[in-house]
Amino acid sequence: MPAQIGSAAPVRAGRSTEVQGWSKPAASKATGEPLVPDLLLCLDWHLEGPPDLEREVLGDAYWLEVFRWTERDRVPADRLAEARGLLCNYAVRVTGELLDRMPRLRVVTRCGVGYDNIDVEAAGRRGIAVLNVPDYGTMDIADHAIALALSFLRGIPLYTTTLHEDPVGNWKFAAAPTVRRLSTLTFAVVGLGRIGMAAALRAKALGMRVVFFDPYKPTGTELALGIERRERLDELLAEADVVSIHTPLTDETRGLIGAAALAVIKPGAILINTARGPIVDLEAVHAALLDGRLAAAGLDVLPEEPPSPDHPLIAAWRAPGSPLRHRLILTPHAAWYTPSGVADVRRKSAAATRAFLETGRSRDLVNAAWLDAAAAAARAGRGSPA
């Protein structure tokens, strides 16, 4: 039976006597008494069907109710007030106002890597821990970044679309201007976190010279990886044939790749972004593609998702006969996606939430700098701050 998500009968995880609805929790095997599991919520459930994988991890001690993000404003106030954990994807904004409606909440788990949709400082002040799942999509996103680069470097978008139009007249191997020998290229990584490092190692394995810019990585990182470090972003951009973005979205990185950065980029460079859309200024990318400063751009993330068809870059790319047609690749925030990756993040998110509720600790705590220990202890002990 399809899950009724976000209705009066949200799907609950945690073994129960019914598959869905306000079902009765299973009885304790030890005493026969009904269990009273802690309530967990997900306000932006985006999958079909019930949270069965989460159920396997959470067991009888926790009860997960999931709502579609389009229905998040209909979540009953009593469910918000009772919840001990909140699992969220990317659609819901976890603000101080929302957190104030959740007086028993102990932990927010971002079911993914980036947590720019969560006010981590506001959560910390209220004694609420914020966790992420930093490892689930590392390989997939790095693979996607390399695939976008290789698509251009081997001319695949142009070859396949022109041959589709005319398989005889367009049988021209020299028609793709972005094709280059990999061993002659410099692959530049902006942000050498887990994903950036994975992308760097893949590019190195393909024979490219790899450089990176990340002012927060310790000295000697480059020696351990066998790649080169650049101290300034403009220095890196000036020598890069491919620039791959892997930074988190912060006040420092918002708009990092804009008109000023693209003015100093090596002419004919290829730009790849699989990180966060607002890091890259689309208007500046549009201008750089038109004037030839950028040879091509592969974008998995955009400032607005999905994009407006009327955005100047999108409209120009889609126009008949557009010179951008084979020089821009868009994918729908899909770099993280594989069926295995979905299963990983679901299990890991549930496991991280459960582990924190049971131990009060996590390696993946992202708001330690703001976490009020007294408020956190009060929430853990009595269910609401003093």
Chain segment 225-252, per-residue pLDDT in tens: 999 999 999 999 999 999 999 999 999 9
Residues 118 and 187 in one domain: no
Q: Are 61 and 12 in contact (CB under 8 A)?
A: no
Domain residues for the domain of 197 are 138-330
pLDDT 10s digits, 15-46 = 332 223 223 344 444 555 545 689 999 998 88
Q: Are 143 and 153 in contact (CB under 8 A)?
A: no
Length reported for the chain: 386
In a domain, 315, yes or no: yes
CATH number of the domain that 59 lies in? 3.40.50.720
Q: Out of 12, 276, 286, 379, pick the active-site residue.
A: 276
Residues 275 and 301 in one domain: yes
Residue 295 phi/psi, 5-degree rounding, is -75, -35
The average pLDDT across 46-69 equals 89
Q: Are 140 and 373 in contact (CB under 8 A)?
A: no
Residues 35 and 164 in one domain: no
Q: What is the pTM of this model?
A: 0.84
- 276 a catalytic residue: yes
Residues 222 and 194 in one domain: yes
Residues 173 and 289 in one domain: yes
Which is nearest to 195 in space by CA: 241, 152, 147, 143?
143
pLDDT 10s digits, 95-111 = 999 999 999 999 999 99
Integer distance in angstroms from the first to the last C-alpha of the chain?
43
Which is nearest to 275 in space by CA: 187, 178, 186, 194?
194
Q: How many domains does the chain have?
A: 2
Q: Which residues pair with 213 in a beta bridge?
A: 190
- 164 a catalytic residue: no
In a domain, 289, yes or no: yes
Q: Out of 305, 318, 358, 382, pick the active-site residue.
A: 305
Euclidean distance between CA atoms 160 and 174, whole angstroms = 13
Tokens of 205: 């394995």
Residues 161 and 191 in one domain: yes
Which is nearest to 203 in space by CA: 189, 223, 190, 187?
187
Query: Mean pLDDT for the chain?
Result: 89
Euclidean distance between CA atoms 149 and 137, whole angstroms = 18
- 305 a catalytic residue: yes
Q: How far is CA 215 from the centre of its chain?
A: 22
